[in-house]
């Protein structure tokens, strides 16, 4: 296929050619960034969490008399254990993704400085089993540690804690974390176990560094423990929540008792991200449709402008498929120029967004993805007009000047 005739023809019809290149380039740039934003948000919705999310329900109790916590909590736990289907239950101060951050900065030396705020969780006896934490190294807390530890001013009075895998690697790279000491605000604790990564109470507030930075302490029953974690089979969760709210409502008549499954808590946390994803998908689809219409409209007009040339070519011996190939090749050249320009634009837009809006750098494989999509769109859009052009009869050449 001779390229030179196509190029010289394009040089004479600059405006439509430039318009098609720009349409494809702009659509490619916007699509690339939109798809990247969709990818980022889908990734955040699927952040892994080192607890048994499918089996947990959470009951929050607010407004109990703090002085009665030492006796009230064990009584409530006994009542909750009695519910059919509940395999484990414990009292805790907060849950991952409950949007009430309780953060402390921990260091490995008494005078160190940290830039990561760690989410702090206090677990009542049996908390590790109720949450379904995965132990990677070391051990969970034993009964003595639960009995000896409390919390005062949101600091543990005990001597032990559990850290997550990410923190173990960040704080003591290359060494084991077991037996090491963590310091905060003049106190210190020893690491007895490492668990797989658990999300922070508010990962978006804590930022990327604090997302999986979590620390677990053991504690006696304390008035700060406003959450009861119940572990059951997934199919029993709704019934367990209902019965638990009723049971606690009877036992704590002056308090506000609310219950939901952990899966619902997670969905609520990411609800705004999900709606943003849907909106981005809608914008991408509509934009591709509008671009397709624009290209089809312009190309069918432009092909119509060149009826006489097509007729002359057919009259001197070109076949229908030659004409079709000509227009497909011409469109290929324009689409290629368009996607190259579009990839450059997409990269440039991403750099700008990185500076102004803390967007991450777009990985290189998003550029070819949007390029291929627009290239295919361009080729399909020209198919209709090109087929119509191929139907032009040779006799057109003999008409008029």
Partner 1 sequence: MFGYYLDLAWRSLRRTPILTGLMVLAIGLGIGASMTMITVLHVMDADPLPGRSALLYTPHLDPLPLKFNGFSVGHDASDHLTWPDAVALLNAHRAQRQAAMAGGDLLMRPEAVDLRPFYVNGRYTTSDFFAMFGVRFEHGSSWRAADDMAGAHVVVLADSLARKLFGNVDAIGKMVRLGENDLRVAGVTADWYPSPLFYADDRAKRYSDHDQFFLPLSTAVDLNFDVDGSVDRWGKTLNVDMRSATTTWLQFWVQLDTPTQAAAYKHFLIDYSAQQKSLGRFQRPASNARLYSLMGWLAHENLVPSDVRLQLWLALGFLFVCMLNIVALLLAKFLRRSGEISVRRALGARQRDIFVQFGIESAAIGVIGGVLGVLIAEFGLWSVRHRPDDYAHVARMDVSMLLATLVLAVAASVMAGLLPAWRACRVAPALQLKTL
Strand, coil or helix: what is 112? coil
The one segment of 27-35, 80-88, 131-139, 330-338 that binds partner 1 by CB under 8 A? 27-35
DSSP 141: -
Q: 323-352: which residues touch partner 1 (CB under 8 A)?
A: none
**Smallest separation, CB 84 to partner 1 (Å):** 26
Instruction: Locate 87 and state its tokens.
Output: 């395999």
C-alpha distance from residue 360 to each of 47, 262, 350, 363 (Å): 16, 29, 8, 9
The answer to whether residues 353 and 29 touch, using CB atoms and an 8 Å cutoff, is: no
**Smallest separation, CB 241 to partner 1 (Å):** 18
Residue 234 to residue 261: CA distance in whole angstroms: 10
Looking at the chain, the number of H-run helices and the number of E-run strands are 13, 13
The one segment of 122-130, 234-242, 275-283, 333-341 that binds partner 1 by CB under 8 A? 275-283
238: part of which helix (H) or strand (E)? helix 237-251
Burial annotation 369-380 (CB, 10 A radius, 16+ → b, else e) = ebbebbbebbee
Residue 226 to residue 144: CA distance in whole angstroms: 23
Q: Which of 137, 300, 325, 328 binds partner 1 (CB under 8 A)?
A: 300
Residue located via tokens 């498929």: 321
Q: Which of 46, 153, 235, 355 binds partner 1 (CB under 8 A)?
A: 153
311 binds partner 1, rule: CB under 8 A: no
242 binds partner 1, rule: CB under 8 A: no
Per-residue contact string for residues 196-235; x = within reach of partner 1 by CB under 8 A: --------xxxx--x-------------------------
Which residues are near partner 1 by CB under 8 A? 15-16, 19-20, 22-23, 26-27, 29-30, 33-34, 37, 62-63, 65, 101, 103, 105, 113-117, 153, 155, 185-186, 204-207, 210, 254-256, 268, 271-272, 275-276, 279-280, 283, 286-287, 290-291, 293-295, 297-298, 300-302, 304-305, 353, 357-359, 400-401
């Amino acid at each position: 296929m001779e390229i030179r005739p196509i190029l010289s023809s394009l040089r004479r019809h600059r405006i439509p050619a430039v318009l098609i290149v720009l349409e494809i380039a702009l659509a490619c740039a916007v699509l690339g960034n939109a798809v990247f934003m969709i990818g980022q948000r889908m990734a955040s919705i699927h952040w892994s969490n080192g607890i048994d999310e499918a089996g947990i329900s959470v009951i929050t109790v607010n407004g109990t008399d703090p002085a009665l916590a030492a006796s009230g909590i064990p009584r409530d736990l006994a009542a909750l254990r009695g519910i059919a289907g509940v395999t484990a239950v414990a009292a805790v101060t907060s849950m991952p993704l409950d949007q009430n951050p309780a953060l402390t900065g921990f260091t490995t030396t008494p005078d160190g400085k940290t830039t990561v705020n760690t989410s702090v969780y206090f677990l009542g006896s049996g908390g590790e089993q109720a949450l379904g934490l995965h132990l990677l190294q070391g051990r969970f807390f034993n009964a003595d540690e639960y009995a000896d530890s409390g919390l005062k001013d949101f600091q543990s009075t005990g001597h032990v804690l559990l850290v997550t895998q990410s923190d173990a690697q960040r704080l003591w790279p290359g060494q084991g974390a077991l037996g090491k000491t963590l310091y905060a605000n003049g106190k210190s604790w020893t690491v007895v176990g490492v668990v797989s990564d658990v999300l922070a109470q508010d990962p978006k507030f804590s930022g990327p560094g604090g997302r999986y930075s979590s620390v677990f302490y053991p504690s006696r029953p304390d008035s700060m423990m406003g959450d009861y974690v119940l572990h059951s089979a997934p199919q029993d969760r709704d019934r367990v929540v209902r019965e638990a709210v009723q049971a606690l409502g009877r036992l704590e008549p002056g308090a506000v008792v609310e219950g939901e499954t952990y899966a619902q808590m997670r969905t609520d946390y990411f609800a705004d991200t999900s709606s943003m994803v849907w909106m981005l998908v809608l914008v991408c689809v509509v934009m591709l449709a509008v671009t397709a219409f624009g290209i089809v409209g312009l190309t069918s007009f432009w092909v119509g402008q060149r009826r006489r040339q097509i007729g002359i070519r057919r009259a001197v011996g070109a076949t229908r498929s030659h004409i079709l190939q000509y227009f497909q090749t011409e469109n290929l050249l324009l689409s290629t120029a368009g996607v190259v320009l579009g990839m450059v634009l997409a990269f440039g837009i991403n750099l700008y967004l990185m500076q102004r809006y803390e967007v991450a750098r777009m990985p290189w494989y998003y550029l070819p993805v949007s390029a291929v999509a627009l290239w295919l769109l361009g080729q399909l859009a020209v198919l209709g007009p090109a087929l119509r052009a191929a139907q032009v009869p040779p006799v057109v050449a003999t008409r008029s000047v």
